[in-house]
Amino acid sequence: MRRILCWSSLFLLLFMGSACVIVGNDDPTNCDGNGDLAVDWIFGGDDRCPADAENMYVEVYDLNGDPIHTETDGEVASCLDGGITFRALACGPFAIRVHGVDSSGFLSWESAEVNVVVREGRLNAFTVNLLPTP
């Protein structure tokens, strides 16, 4: 009897222990919540700010190409900040671009367009590599 009870207990433990609970929605195409988008920058693979990249502009577009945040609405940060975070952005896919300008406003560094996905209920962090402008 004791052996049967032990095997039964082990079976129940294994059966109950294998249950899982999914919290949140990880499908970016079927969500109605928000997430945070953190965009960090590097310059040709180096995380140190070059002398000709004083301010950074981060542009965020939806997949239709409509601007969510652009240079004209004040999404600027000091290069030394190392990044910028957009809070409570609707979850889903976006495209981002980052530009670096010198103290006179000359565009000296820029990234290619980077596609990102903001997932619901979390901080979504991305690092964008900028290259010098020609």
What gap in Å lies between CA 17 and CA 11, rounded to an integer? 10
pLDDT band at 11; cut points 50, 70, 90? very low
| Residue 80 within any structural domain of the chain | yes
CATH number of the CATH domain containing 127 = 2.60.40.10
Residue 130 or residue 23, greater confidence = 130
Number of domains in the chain: 1
| Residue 24 within any structural domain of the chain | no
| Residue 2 within any structural domain of the chain | no
| Residue 55 within any structural domain of the chain | yes
Domain that holds residue 111: 32-132
| Residue 18 within any structural domain of the chain | no
pLDDT band at 125; cut points 50, 70, 90? very high
C-alpha angle with apex 60: 59 to 64, nearest 5 degrees? 125
Question: Global pTM?
Answer: 0.76
